[in-house]
Chain A
């Protein structure tokens, strides 16, 4: 399975600002996934980041709010733009390997004040 480094681990941000979360994988992967986990809730897929093409967003999530970069097969970023308190959540990147399921990054705990 992969080792994923995600940063920052947490941040407190002012409303109206943006935060970029980085995710680095120790192996090349075709797809990387970005999830949101609100307090006490399940994991909701935001988008699938494909190298060399636009990210694929799930219903309820749009590129203007959550722009994603995928410059190579080991790295991706998720930006949370124009933040409001409702964006306070844990954001997790993940990759999936055949036969071993998802490996998650350590998560970014975002608080918007």
Chain B
């Protein structure tokens, strides 16, 4: 089955710096890669996703890159702000619409003001 590894487990950056979180996956059948942000005491929320037919996707300060050959994908947050502090989870799935999604272990991001 699918296995998703996520690094680092903890990341601390200064406000305004960039943050990068990396994930690898094992199942070549995976072709949908969402990222979730979970603030303390709240539910995970989708912040960006990418499909295997795209190499990069950007939404304001957040971008995700995918290297399907190497089976890794990354989340990039630029100009970090204190409100970006949260736990971020990567995930992989064969598709959307009812297929099982496997989550990475999570990265706890601290943005220091």
Binary CB contact string for chain B from 16 to 28 against chain A (1 if under 8 A, 0 otherwise) = 0000000000000
Contact A100 B96 (CB under 8 A): yes
Contact of A106 among B32, B43, B89, B97 (CB under 8 A): B43
List B contacts of A41 (CB < 8 A): 105-106
Q: Do A101 and B43 form a contact, CB below 8 Å, given A31-B98, A43-B89?
A: no
Contact A104 B103 (CB under 8 A): no
Q: Do A105 and B103 form a contact, CB below 8 Å, given A96-B97, A98-B96?
A: no
Q: Whole-angstrom distance between the alpha carbons of A98 and B46 in the complex? A: 13
CB distance from A68 to the nearest CB of B (A): 15
List A contacts of B100 (CB < 8 A): 33, 45, 48
List residues of B (26-40) whose CB comes within 8 Å of A's CBs.
32, 34, 36
Q: Whole-angstrom distance between the alpha carbons of A89 and B83 in the complex? A: 26
Contact B46 A101 (CB under 8 A): yes
Interface residues on A, range: 20 to 34
Q: Whole-angstrom distance between the alpha carbons of A92 and B38 in the complex? A: 13
Q: Whole-angstrom distance between the alpha carbons of A104 and B37 in the complex? A: 12
Interface size on B, residues (CB 8 A): 20
CB distance from A31 to the nearest CB of B (A): 4
Contact A42 B89 (CB under 8 A): yes
Q: Do A100 and B43 form a contact, CB below 8 Å, given A31-B98, A42-B104, A42-B105?
A: no
Contact of B43 among A31, A42, A105 (CB under 8 A): A105
Binary CB contact string for chain B from 40 to 61 against chain A (1 if under 8 A, 0 otherwise) = 0001111001000000000000
User: Is residue A60 contacting chain B, with contact meaning CB distance below 8 A?
Assistant: no
Most interface-central of B43, B89, B102 (chain A CB within 10 A): B43
User: Is residue B101 contacting chain A, with contact meaning CB distance below 8 A?
Assistant: yes
Binary CB contact string for chain A from 29 to 46 against chain B (1 if under 8 A, 0 otherwise) = 111010000000111110
Give chain A's interface residues, CB within 8 Å of chain B.
29-31, 33, 41-45, 48, 92, 96-107
Give chain B's interface residues, CB within 8 Å of chain A.
32, 34, 36, 43-46, 49, 89, 96-106
